[in-house]
């Protein structure tokens, strides 16, 4: 087709249409993409049983579309955390007294109960920003930054992602990089790994040179790299495969977690003689100590299947790291329309992990201390299941509303060969039950 | 345009700052959004739009025995005299045939005797396509207004124009009947009658079967003018890893390679928008290049 013809098509078509419709020239079209802000808000309650961690979280995500697929999103999340968290020590047949992390005071756990540090209380503010920019017709570039602040924690992160469509947009490949620097300034200072829990009077709650044996703020750096491919298999089947590598280095221990030192025969705690006027731990406990680097590899695969308005979303993740933790996650969701603009979405998730190689229930008093050790239940061998249901609908004003209720159950697997003496028959893993309730509301463009 | 004759009734309900008249025509849900408050007036105006849609459907459906299309397709080589409206539509189709250098062709419908786009892998043989292609081509038709003469076995189908034409016709009737602003929407092909007063613009969503598409779920605002969409992501054939779109090239008898899943175009009238989107689909991989040259706003879904 010649250039002249090409340019004339619009006017020739206008003339032909005019003849067909028998009317005068129509008013010139005025159509725009609706550009503006849309908001995604959610209020989430997460509550663990036994008065453990409770989190109330409010999040707002604002998204602004610009011409030509440019896209800005800004997020704000506020969390209020309260409750108690297992401090890593084992339940005993006697009461146990611990020094509070902030120093100066102690708390006591009755016999037969899991020791919880109930001084745990925090507020977290997190912000994020992302900019998406098309590069030509087939590629997208995305850059973002994030920051969050808690009383004892500061996170700063940067991320970038590039994706490219080809094969008639049936295939998308992507590569992403994220770096973050986190600073940890624990309440009462940073304890030295695998040293004895100090007494309340020794711990003045100041870090650095003011208090004894507790150090100043620490930091860690994390680099994440992800490569992904998304393939449209058929008009109603989509598959995605991602590989990601994550490298953490720096201070990776939890400054609030301890390990129980036990008698090598009885498996019971070792009492510490109490000097008059000294308020300190009743038994021998050590601050945990983790390696200062961790490298994780993950393979994630997801399939989305559309069938008559229903969407089945199945995914599996395998993660392995140099702490010897291997985990499997299977996640399944089914979005089931139940009428005009209404849907139900059942959700099931199974998770299973092996323990870190330095995870141990307790340390034997008198044995040489290992290089690394932690009794944090999150590094143990455990299985978890999440079961939930979400219901969503469109409000009279055309906005999206949803409610979600989920139950989470985590239970540890402890081999009887790891138990010493009286530990047999005791509860050694703090199993966890939690409830998650979320209300979501989406409005704007 | 379909043979199934659904119940022809209209309903009017409360919309957001407007009344929404609804009915079924041309195998599509149709609606007329009226910026008026009087239910009986909205019902009267919707009835006018519906009557026009049903009239055009009945007159030009290629499935209804006895109508003008049936008489033309059943003429077995004899010349048929057509009425003025049919004559104008055929003239229009002939203009498009010339503008598209033969790719827009109202005689291409018989290719569907060998191509069935049902998501299956039933690809016809080259010989079968070649055979049916002998009965395709506007150049084989003798058109001396108002006399139309075709070879036996040839058929015409105005389905590619009908819906957009019906939208513009209904819009014209509503403009003459009322001073209010309307959005006439026949299954996604739509036109605005007068700029709205209660809102800055009518809001229209572009839907896509594929949520991965960049242009899926976009919201457009239309103050005046029209939008039309060509293509259907649900209609295709998959054979030996090649996806065949349902857009057939009447010059080759085969699907246009690399056609977008769908193209939405904004233009002054729905007919213009519809023809530009159809011509763009026929351009296959060059759809966007073609539309860029036409200086129109468009949204191309390559899912």
What is the band of A359 on the pLDDT scale with cuts at 50, 70, 90? very high
Using the structure block, give the residue that is written with the tokens 């073609």: B290
Nearest-Cα distance to chain B for A20, in Å, is: 6
What is the band of A109 on the pLDDT scale with cuts at 50, 70, 90? very high
Same domain, B45 and B124: no
pLDDT of A207 strictly over 60:
no
What is the band of B3 on the pLDDT scale with cuts at 50, 70, 90? very low
pLDDT of B33 strictly over 70:
yes
pLDDT of B233 strictly over 60:
no
Closest to A377 measured CA to CA, from A435, A322, A427, A319 = A427
pLDDT at residue B246, rounded to an integer = 76
Nearest-Cα distance to chain A for B112, in Å, is: 21
Write down which residue in B194, B220, B243 finishes a domain. B194
- For B139-151, the pLDDT digits (tens) are 999 999 999 999 9
On whether any CB of chain B is under 8 Å from the CB of A314, the answer is no
- pLDDT more than 90, % of chain A: 72
What is the band of A35 on the pLDDT scale with cuts at 50, 70, 90? confident
Same domain, B131 and B186: no
What is the band of A445 on the pLDDT scale with cuts at 50, 70, 90? low
pLDDT at residue B236, rounded to an integer = 63
Suggest the residue from A29, A68, A166 to mutate for an interface test with chain B (most B CBs closer than 10 A): A29
Minimum mean pLDDT range among A355-369, B58-72, B120-134: B120-134
pLDDT at residue B213, rounded to an integer = 47
Of A13-22, A35-44, A305-314, B98-107, which one has max mean pLDDT? B98-107
What is the band of B168 on the pLDDT scale with cuts at 50, 70, 90? very high
Structure tokens of A46?
A: 């997460």
User: Quick check: ipTM above 0.85?
Assistant: yes
Do the chains contact at B293 and A7, CB–CB below 8 Å?
A: yes
Measured between beta carbons, the chain B residues lying within 8 angstroms of A29 are 222, 224-226, 266-268, 273, 297
pLDDT at residue A433, rounded to an integer = 97
Same domain, B227 and B92: no
Suggest the residue from A26, A33, A229, A233 to mutate for an interface test with chain B (most B CBs closer than 10 A): A26
Total domains in chain B come to 3
Same domain, B36 and B92: no
Mention every residue, 6+ apart, whose C-beta is less than 8 A from residue B66: none
Same domain, B36 and B98: no
What is the band of A203 on the pLDDT scale with cuts at 50, 70, 90? low
Same domain, B75 and B90: yes
Measured between beta carbons, the chain A residues lying within 8 angstroms of B266 are 29, 31
Minimum mean pLDDT range among A87-101, B49-63, B111-125: B111-125
Structure tokens of A414?
A: 């402890």
Measured between beta carbons, the chain A residues lying within 8 angstroms of B209 are 235
Spacing of C-alpha A311 from chain mean position: 25
pLDDT of B295 strictly over 70:
yes
pLDDT of B261 strictly over 90:
no
CATH code of domain A36-85+123-187+216-250+295-444 = 2.40.160.40
- pLDDT more than 70, % of chain B: 89
Write down which residue in B177, B194, B211 finishes a domain. B194
On whether any CB of chain B is under 8 Å from the CB of A14, the answer is yes
Same domain, B207 and B300: yes
The residue of chain B with its CA nearest to that of A396 is: B16
Give yes or no for a contact between A204 and A103, defined as CB atoms under 8 angstroms apart.
Answer: yes
Write down which residue in B130, B157, B184 finishes a domain. B157
Measured between beta carbons, the chain B residues lying within 8 angstroms of A1 are 101
Domain housing B49: 1-62+160-194
Average pLDDT, chain A: 91
pLDDT of A239 strictly over 90:
yes
pLDDT of A439 strictly over 80:
yes
pLDDT of A213 strictly over 90:
no
Domain residue extents for chain A: 36-85+123-187+216-250+295-444
């Amino acid at each position: 087709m010649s250039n002249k013809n090409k340019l004339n098509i619009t006017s020739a078509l206008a003339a032909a249409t005019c003849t067909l419709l028998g009317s005068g020239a129509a008013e010139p079209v005025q159509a725009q993409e609706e550009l503006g802000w849309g908001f995604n808000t959610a209020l989430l309650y997460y509550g663990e049983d036994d008065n453990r961690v409770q989190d109330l979280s409010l999040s707002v995500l604002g998204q602004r579309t610009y011409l030509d697929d440019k896209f800005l999103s800004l997020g704000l999340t506020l969390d209020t955390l309260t409750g108690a968290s297992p401090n890593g020590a084992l339940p005993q047949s006697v009461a146990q007294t611990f020094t509070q992390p902030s120093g100066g005071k102690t708390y006591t756990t009755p016999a037969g109960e899991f020791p919880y540090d109930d001084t745990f209380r925090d507020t977290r503010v997190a912000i994020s920003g992302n900019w998406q920019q098309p590069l030509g017709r087939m590629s997208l570039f995305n850059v973002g930054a994030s920051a969050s602040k808690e009383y004892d924690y500061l996170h700063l992160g940067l991320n970038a992602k590039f994706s490219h469509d080809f094969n008639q947009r049936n295939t998308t490949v992507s590569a992403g990089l994220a770096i973050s620097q986190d600073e940890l300034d624990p309440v009462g200072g940073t304890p030295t790994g695998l040293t004895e829990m100090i007494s309340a009077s020794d711990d003045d709650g100041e870090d650095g040179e003011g208090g004894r044996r507790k150090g100043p703020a620490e930091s860690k750096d994390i680099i994440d790299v992800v490569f992904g491919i998304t393939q449209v298999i058929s008009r109603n089947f989509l598959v995605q495969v991602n590989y990601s590598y994550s490298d953490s280095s720096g201070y990776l221990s939890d400054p609030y977690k301890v390990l129980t030192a036990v008698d090598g025969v009885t498996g019971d705690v070792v009492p510490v003689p109490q000097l008059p006027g000294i308020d300190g731990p009743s038994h021998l406990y050590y601050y945990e100590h983790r390696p200062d680097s961790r490298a994780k590899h993950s393979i994630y695969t997801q399939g989305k299947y559309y069938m008559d308005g229903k969407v089945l979303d199945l995914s599996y993740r395998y993660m392995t790291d140099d702490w010897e933790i291997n985990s499997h996650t299977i996640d399944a969701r089914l979005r089931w329309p139940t009428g005009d603009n209404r849907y139900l979405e059942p959700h099931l998730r199974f998770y299973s992990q092996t323990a870190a190689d330095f995870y141990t229930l307790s340390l034997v008093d008198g044995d040489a201390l290992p290089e690394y050790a932690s009794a944090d239940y999150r590094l143990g061998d455990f299985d978890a299941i999440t079961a939930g249901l979400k219901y969503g609908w469109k409000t009279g004003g055309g906005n999206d509303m949803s409610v979600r209720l989920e139950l989470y159950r985590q239970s540890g697997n402890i081999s009887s060969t790891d138990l010493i003496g009286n530990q047999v028959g005791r509860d050694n893993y703090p199993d966890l039950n939690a409830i998650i309730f979320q209300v979501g509301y989406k409005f704007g463009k | 345009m379909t043979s199934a004759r659904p119940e022809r009734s209209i309903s009017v309900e409360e919309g957001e700052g407007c009344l929404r008249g609804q009915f079924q025509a041309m195998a599509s849900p149709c609606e007329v959004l009226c910026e008026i408050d009087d239910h009986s007036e909205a019902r009267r105006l919707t009835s006018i739009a519906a009557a026009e849609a049903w009239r055009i459907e009945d007159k030009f459906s290629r499935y209804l025995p006895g109508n003008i299309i049936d008489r033309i397709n059943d003429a077995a080589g004899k010349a048929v005299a057509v009425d003025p409206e049919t004559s104008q539509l055929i003239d229009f189709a002939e203009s498009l045939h010339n503008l598209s250098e033969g790719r827009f062709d109202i005689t291409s419908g018989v290719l569907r005797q060998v191509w069935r786009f049902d998501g299956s892998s039933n690809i016809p043989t080259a010989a079968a396509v070649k055979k049916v292609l002998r009965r395709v081509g506007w150049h084989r038709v003798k058109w001396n207004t108002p006399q139309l003469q075709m070879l036996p076995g040839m058929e015409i189908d105005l389905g590619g124009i009908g819906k957009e034409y019906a939208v513009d016709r209904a819009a014209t009737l509503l403009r003459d009947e009322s001073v209010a602003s309307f959005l006439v929407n026949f299954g996604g092909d739509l036109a605005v009658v007068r700029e709205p007063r209660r809102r800055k613009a009518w809001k229209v969503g572009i839907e896509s079967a594929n949520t991965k598409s960049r242009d899926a779920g976009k919201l457009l605002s239309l103050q005046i003018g029209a939008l039309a969409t060509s293509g259907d992501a649900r209609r295709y054939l998959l054979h030996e890893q090649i996806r065949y779109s349902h857009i057939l090239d009447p010059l080759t008898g085969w699907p246009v390679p690399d056609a977008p899943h769908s193209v939405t175009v904004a233009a002054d009238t729905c007919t213009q928008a519809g023809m530009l989107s159809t011509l763009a689909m026929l351009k296959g991989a060059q759809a966007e290049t073609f539309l860029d040259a036409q200086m129109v706003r468009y949204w191309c879904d390559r899912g």
